[in-house]
Chain A
Amino acid sequence: KNQVEQSPQSLIILEGKNCTLQCNYTVSPFSNLRWYKQDTGRGPVSLTIMTFSENTKSNGRYTATLDADTKQSSLHITASQLSDSASYICVVSAYSSASKIIFGSGTRLSIRP
């Protein structure tokens, strides 16, 4: 069964601290993995997209890693800001099927001043 599991479910950290969010998947055949940020009441916004051959990609203070062998990804946030408070969703796509774009349940991140 195609699945995307994220951990932790929720996380609270102090402003300025770093954090790492995890994503494990079983989607096959693998096409790409994306991390989205979803603010409350808004649609998801793309942060990074990685294919099989890429093992790291950065977007400002966000750095995503991908280990296609172990089927794991992480999203590292550096020097967190209050505006980073949001849900972070891992999305894994399989080739040849629109329905096989599987969303994780997300990690709810709260940044405290």
Chain B
Amino acid sequence: GAGVSQSPRYKVAKRGQDVALRCDPISGHVSLFWYQQALGQGPEFLTYFQNEAQLDKSGLPSDRFFAERPEGSVSTLKIQRTQQEDSAVYLCASSLGRAWNTEAFFGQGTRLTVV
């Protein structure tokens, strides 16, 4: 596709429910990032993939958060047993090369509300 696509755009989950957020990066992009953005704040790093390899997951806040990119393209961020503090916008970004020296393109995000 022309850009990074995320789905769903909005998700309302009951506390304790599991959710799965999808990211379709730009075709051919090697690097993929997930970020969490609270209202009025900048994005906070969650995890990073280079192709199918998850090279850094140091930002995942708890073991309830899990991300995968099995074929090096589409990625899924899964949150188990959601809690109210998980409410945020989850942004996905992809870049052609390595994380620190190539342009990163962002999707529109998924707004998760846990009630």
Contact = CB atoms under 8 A, between A and B. Distances in A.
B62 interface: no
A1 B48 CA distance: 20
Interface in A65-113: 89, 91, 93-101, 103-106, 108
A99 B43 contact: no
A42 B105 CA distance: 12
Contacts, number: 67
Contact of B100 (A32, A41, A89, A104): A32
Interface in A22-65: 31-32, 36, 41-46, 49
A91 B37 CA distance: 14
Given A99-B56, A101-B99, A41 B108 contact: yes
Contacts of A99: 45, 48, 56, 58-59
B109 to A, nearest CB: 6
A91 B95 CA distance: 15
A91 B4 CA distance: 19
A38 to B, nearest CB: 8
B33 A105 contact: no
A103 B42 contact: yes
A100 B43 CA distance: 12
Nearest to B6: A43
Given A42-B108, A43-B91, A94 B42 contact: no
Candidate in A4, A43, A106 with the most chain B CB atoms within 10 angstroms: A43
Interface of B: 4, 31, 33, 35, 40-45, 48, 55-56, 58-59, 91, 93, 99-101, 103-109
Name the 3 nearest CB pairs between A and B, nearest first: A43-B106, A103-B42, A98-B48
